[in-house]
A and B are shown apart, each in its own frame.
Chain A
Amino acid sequence: MISIIDYKAGNLTSVGRALKHLGVPCVITSDPRIIMSSERVIFPGVGAAGKAMEVIKSQGLDKVIHEVIAQKIPFLGICLGAQIILDKSEEDNAACLGIIPGVARKFPDAGIKIPHMGWNDISIERSHPIFKDINPKAQFYFVHSYYPEPGNHENIIATTHYGITFASVIGRGNVIATQFHLEKSGRNGLRILKNFSEWNGEL
């Protein structure tokens, strides 16, 4: 069973629908006992970092998430979920979870449209079990105005170019996170979700 952490974010049901389509059992929950006893955890997210962190802290989910990481339960962040696992975000100047060292930064005003919206490439920097059977030319669906900037190069798993080159997949141990929406990226997004549902958290 996969737990999708419920913190009133926008795309919980979409992630749940995608897993259901894949035949992967899942539950949307904020109950620490259910989360801790699940085989895998997905941390989705749409919206603003400040508001999300407020909800996470008020429900004590920050402690639960740290415990999930410590217990080596495979953990997948999606979109905002790839930003608030960093130390902080420039959005709302929010202090975040500090699971991977780094900062979520706003795209520079460099003649590009913001948000970065649409289908873009990823270039895989480090092989990872979630990329099994993924064609290197596959594109994924992005919608975001902030991007993850990990402090350590080894936490950058894939990069994407949009005005600048940024980390579009970050990871560390049993934690993996994609800036793009797996649940809206067609069959390649579904394939990564499927790969995650089979990943034991080891590299």
Chain B
Amino acid sequence: MLSKRIIICLDVREGKTTKGVGFKGNIDIGDPVTMAREYYEQGVDELVFYDITASSDKRDIIIDVVENVAKNIFIPFSVGGGIRTLDDMYKVLNAGAEKISVNTAAVLNPGLISEGAKIFGNQCIVLGMDAKRVEKTGNIPSGYEVWINGGRTPMDMDALDWAKKAQDLGAGEICLNSIDADGTNEGYELTLTSLITNAVSIPVIASGGAGNSEHLRDVFVEAGADAALIASMVHYGRYTVSRIKAYLAERNIPVREII
């Protein structure tokens, strides 16, 4: 049976894994290649590297990270953040990534999805989407609005419509991040997740809010997610991948056993 995937997200800034800590900004928590290798050994199913490097002259650092990860781990991984052109996509894939995640750039230029899918294949193109609960309006009938620029800019655009459109354009997967749940550790946004999983036929990765293993159970069983993204749960050693998988397996959720 197809397993539910557990995906670990590493935010990378100038070559270091980093984590936002309230008003203090970001602190570095480790070397992404070492951390990737550790999670690979623990049995994570997939990894996501999100490049949050602010200055454009340091952008190429992520390529070194991707190359070093690709030499050391042999599971799929994707790269997002700052990918705006087909050339950016090519560089990341050529360095060894399996997939590319596009978010802001795809909202501003939807053709990036279709062109990327045509050249590299649908399975390579992941739509990253940040959605926030709002009052239903004519432009936002689902009550979930798309935000860009890392959740800073509202677009007056409906999240459900955008998910369907991205699928039609050729996205192979959607990584759905709830701005409301993100960072709360109180669980995924189940209403939003099931709204999107029921409306598209491509796999959906739920993101934002995971604080314990039960939250993953909920998003798989109650919201129908195909994969769940986690970060701080494992980055601070509170959980290991094997512990989360054991919890899910006991509850008859199909997960890949580490053998």
Contacts and interface: CB of A to CB of B under 8 A. Distances in A.
A188 interface: yes
B-side interface mostly:
loop
B256 A14 contact: no
A20 B71 CA distance: 9
B151 to A, nearest CB: 26
Contact of B76 (A115, A116, A141): A141
A115 B96 contact: no
Contacts of A187: 74
Interface in B201-226: 201-203, 226
Interface string B1-44: 11101000000000000000000000000000000000010010
A-side interface mostly:
mixed
A143 B76 CA distance: 10
Contacts of A62: none
A115 B74 contact: no
B75 A186 contact: yes
Contacts of B98: 14, 184
A139 interface: yes
Nearest to A116: B2
Interface stretch (A65-73, A117-125, A147-155): A117-125
A184 B76 contact: yes
Contacts of B120: 10
A115 B45 contact: no
Interface residues of A, number: 36
A76 B234 CA distance: 37
Interface in B91-107: 93-94, 96, 98
A44 B250 CA distance: 37
B150 interface: no
A115 B126 CA distance: 13
Contacts of B226: 113, 117-118
Interface string B73-113: 01110000000000000000110101000000000000000
A57 B154 CA distance: 50
Interface string A182-196: 011111111000000
B116 to A, nearest CB: 12
Contact of A17 (B3, B45, B76, B96): B96
B172 interface: yes
**Max chain A Cβ within 10 angstroms of own Cβ: one of B72, B96, B227, B256:** B256
A153 to B, nearest CB: 23
A137 interface: yes
4 tightest Cβ-Cβ pairs between the two chains A and B: A119-B256, A119-B3, A143-B123, A135-B259
12 contacts: A10-B120, A13-B94, A46-B121, A113-B202, A117-B172, A118-B203, A118-B226, A119-B2, A139-B257, A141-B75, A141-B76, A161-B1
